[in-house]
Amino acid sequence: MSSVRTRRQAAAVSTPKTPSPAPRGQVAMNGNGPVHGSAKGEKENIFLFWPNIIGYSRIFLAFASLYYMPLHPRTCSALYSVSCLLDALDGYAARYFEQSTKFGAVLDMVTDRCTTACLLVFLSSAWPRWALLFQGLISLDMASHYVHMYATLSMGGSDHSHKSVDKSRSWLLNLYYTNKTVLFLCCALNETFFIALYLLSFSSPLLSPSLLQVTKPDNATGTLHAGSSSPSGLAASLLMNPYSAGALELARANKMDSFWPWVIAGVSLPVMTIKQILNVVQLVKASRWLAEGDREARRAAGLPRSRKTK
């Protein structure tokens, strides 16, 4: 009897148990827990993630605002503002749908830099006396973010986010990138200041709405007089061609009320100044971070080599 029991126990030990099939729709992943999906796995289309679709919408709105920029300040400002406000929505969508991607982060930053640069280019032509300042702001913005991104990838690694700035490096940049309220206000009011300057370029005190008045004598289709504009046919042709030489001046003849643009510019000016200071700090800190890496690399390579003096 004991021998039979011994044989049964040996058979139970030697015979492997057949694993129970996993529930339908689940795949076992080497002890890391079940993963829902097909056995082969689905190839995700990163380009069609919701945050990236919002990013494409921002680009479309930005191009539309550039088309209306020479002649239609109200339409341009509305389109440009919506494009900037969507910058906050794509981040929320990335967190909500768990679709944070490196491509989305690059798309967001490139869109921000390009739209701001395009607006500053127009301001350089609208305010030629301050063109050098606007060109400097474009250069500072591009250089600051490029060096910061390169330093983050080079020194922090590919998995290190450009928004992960340690307090030991810069408490100011840490506050800027980690506090969503500070980040939103700085970016939004920075763009608001430039939009206000754009609106002010259509509020020239040297022009009057009377320039749009057309005088038509009884015996002619229309003649030009001092203080009056060209006939409506010529005005219409100018409006149809935003690249004509007189298009900007004709649009300025619609003399906008400059009160609110001045108020908006005055309120947003301090924050715009802070944003430019942040760009300078970011450029300096990123440059120093790269220099630290260069020193470590040279030390590891045994540089500088001692030269024998004759």
- Does 216 lie in the same domain as 198? no
Residues near 180 by Cβ (< 8 Å), separated by ≥ 6? none
Take residue 263 and report the two structure tokens written for it. Answer: 């108020």
Q: Is residue 305 part of a domain?
A: no
Give the Cα separation of 134 and 200 in Å (integer).
Answer: 15
- Does 149 lie in the same domain as 269? yes
Is the pLDDT score of 168 beyond 90?
no
Is the pLDDT score of 174 beyond 50?
yes
- Does 177 lie in the same domain as 129? yes
Range from 105-114, 122-131, 208-217, 271-280 carrying the lowest mean pLDDT: 208-217
Is the pLDDT score of 252 beyond 70?
no
Neighbouring CB atoms inside 10 A of 213's CB total 11
- Does 177 lie in the same domain as 128? yes
Q: Is residue 217 part of a domain?
A: yes
Query: What pLDDT is recorded for position 72?
Result: 84
Query: What pLDDT is recorded for position 36?
Result: 40
Q: Is residue 35 part of a domain?
A: no
Query: What pLDDT is recorded for position 207?
Result: 42
Question: 3-state DSSP helix/strand/coil percent for the chain, to nearest 5?
Answer: 65, 0, 35
Q: Provide the domain count of the chain.
A: 2
Give the Cα separation of 129 and 69 in Å (integer).
Answer: 20
Query: What pLDDT is recorded for position 305?
Result: 86
Residues near 54 by Cβ (< 8 Å), separated by ≥ 6? 86, 89, 90, 93
Query: What pLDDT is recorded for position 35?
Result: 37
**Percent of the chain having pLDDT more than 90?**
54
Q: Is residue 19 part of a domain?
A: no
CA angle at residue 241 from 238 to 245, to 5 degrees? 65
- Does 193 lie in the same domain as 213? no
Q: Is residue 90 part of a domain?
A: yes
Query: What pLDDT is recorded for position 250?
Result: 61
**Structure-derived torsion over alpha carbons of residues 132, 138, 140, 145, reported in degrees to the nearest 10:** 180
Residue 27's SS3 state is strand
Instruction: Determine the average pLDDT of the residues in 29-45.
Output: 52
- Does 275 lie in the same domain as 245? no
- Does 186 lie in the same domain as 69? yes
Is the pLDDT score of 22 beyond 50?
no
Instruction: Determine the average pLDDT of the residues in 24-49.
Output: 56
Q: Which residue has the higher pLDDT, 120 or 33?
A: 120
Which residues are catalytic, by number? 112
CATH at 106: 1.20.120.1760
- Does 214 lie in the same domain as 121? no
R_g of the chain computed on alpha carbons: 31
One-letter identity of residue 289: W
Instruction: Determine the average pLDDT of the residues in 57-69.
Output: 95
Query: What pLDDT is recorded for position 225?
Result: 43
Pick from 133, 167, 132, 169: which is nearest to 148 by CA? 169
Q: Which residue has the higher pLDDT, 224 or 9?
A: 9
Q: Is residue 38 part of a domain?
A: no
- Does 183 lie in the same domain as 230? no
- Does 241 lie in the same domain as 169? no
- Does 168 lie in the same domain as 50? yes
Q: Is residue 268 part of a domain?
A: yes
Give the Cα separation of 92 and 257 in Å (integer).
Answer: 36
Instruction: Determine the average pLDDT of the residues in 144-158.
Output: 91
- Does 223 lie in the same domain as 150? no
Q: Which domain holds residue 198?
A: 46-155+164-203+257-292
Give the Cα separation of 98 and 93 in Å (integer).
Answer: 8
Is the pLDDT score of 132 beyond 70?
yes
Q: Is residue 237 part of a domain?
A: yes
Is the pLDDT score of 262 beyond 60?
yes
Is the pLDDT score of 212 beyond 60?
no
Is the pLDDT score of 43 beyond 90?
no
Residues near 48 by Cβ (< 8 Å), separated by ≥ 6? none
Query: What pLDDT is recorded for position 247?
Result: 59
